[in-house]
């Protein structure tokens, strides 16, 4: 004879454990004002909000990698569904404010086959952070480093056409010129010969301004990418390198 009480308890525990598994780990290094309704804190299955500034080192960093450009409406009803082309993988997700002194963060865990639902009304709308001010990034940890995974962000209301290209956004903490990048295909854990340097748009990139890069079609490949830029006030160069999945491996 079935023990329905035990079945109910087992089911409840399983659902509870699944809910906990979806909750993001808030970054303990970020400090926020506990009295602010916009403070960085647990919000459903993600941690999101504004935090108190931290000191960061000078350099250039990757702040966004998406399939198509990030787009959404600043609307009460707007919800962004974030997914990954790697349907069988669990991925760390992070959204950040791109302009310097925009101390916004969202951290979440994207489970295999389950979209992350990201409501705009909670923080983005209240702080008037449009899509041009926010970067979205996904990654997995490997034994040696991180590998970045471009994410697809589908808004419920905004009807901007997604071009299907992989767009990266880089940000420098100093004014830079001569921004350029190159890449090599990774096979069996090793990087093949790097291609020639590809220049970004000419001119000065002010600190905190987005530097956009559209990757060429490379279905089914992992690439190693290098980015270099010259400090506009000296002869020093800043560099950043990383690996990124540009298709289903």
The CA distance from 138 to 84, in Å, is 8
For residue 46, how many other CB atoms are within 10 A of its CB?
Answer: 24
Residues in the chain with pLDDT < 70? 1-24, 55-58, 87, 219-220, 247-249
Q: What pLDDT does residue 219 have?
A: 62
As a whole number of angstroms, the distance between CA 183 and CA 47 comes to 33
pLDDT at 170: 96
pLDDT of the residue at 220? 62
Q: What is the model's pLDDT at position 248?
A: 61
- Token reading at 182: 């190159």
Q: What pLDDT does 7 receive?
A: 32
What residues have CB less than 8 Å from 101, skipping those under 6 apart?
Answer: 53, 208
Task: Give CA–CA dist 209/100, Å, rounded.
Answer: 8
- Phi/psi for 102 (5° steps) reads -100, 90
In whole angstroms, give the CA distance from residue 31 to residue 17.
28
- The dihedrals phi and psi of 92, each to the nearest 5 degrees, come to -80, 135
HSE-up (13 A, CA, CB side) for residue 206: 4
Place of tokens 């987005």: 210
Query: Residue 8 has which token pair?
Result: 């109910």
- C-alpha dihedral (62, 114, 74, 125), degrees to nearest 10: -80
């Amino acid at each position: 004879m079935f023990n329905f009480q035990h079945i109910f308890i087992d089911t409840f525990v399983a659902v509870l454990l699944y809910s906990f598994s979806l909750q993001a780990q808030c970054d303990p290094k970020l400090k926020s004002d506990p009295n602010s309704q916009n403070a960085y804190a647990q919000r459903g299955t993600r941690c999101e909000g504004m935090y108190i500034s931290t000191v960061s080192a000078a350099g250039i960093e990757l702040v966004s990698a998406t399939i198509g450009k990030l787009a959404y409406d600043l609307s009460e009803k707007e919800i962004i569904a974030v997914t990954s082309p790697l349907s069988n993988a669990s991925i760390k997700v992070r959204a950040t404010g791109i302009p310097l002194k925009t101390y916004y963060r969202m951290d979440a865990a994207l489970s295999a086959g389950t979209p992350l639902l990201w409501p705009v009304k909670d923080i983005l709308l209240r702080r008037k952070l449009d899509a041009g001010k926010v970067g979205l990034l996904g990654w997995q940890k490997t034994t040696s480093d991180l590998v970045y995974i471009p994410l697809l962000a589908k808004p419920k209301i905004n009807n901007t056409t997604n071009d299907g290209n992989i767009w990266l956004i880089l940000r420098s903490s100093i004014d830079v010129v001569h921004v350029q990048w190159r890449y090599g295909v990774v096979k069996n854990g090793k990087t093949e010969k790097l291609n020639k340097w590809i220049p970004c748009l000419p001119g000065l990139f002010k600190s905190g301004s987005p530097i956009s890069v559209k990757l060429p079609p490379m279905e089914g490949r992992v690439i190693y990418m290098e980015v270099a830029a010259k400090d506009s006030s000296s002869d020093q160069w800043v560099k950043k390198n990383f690996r990124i999945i540009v298709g289903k491996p």
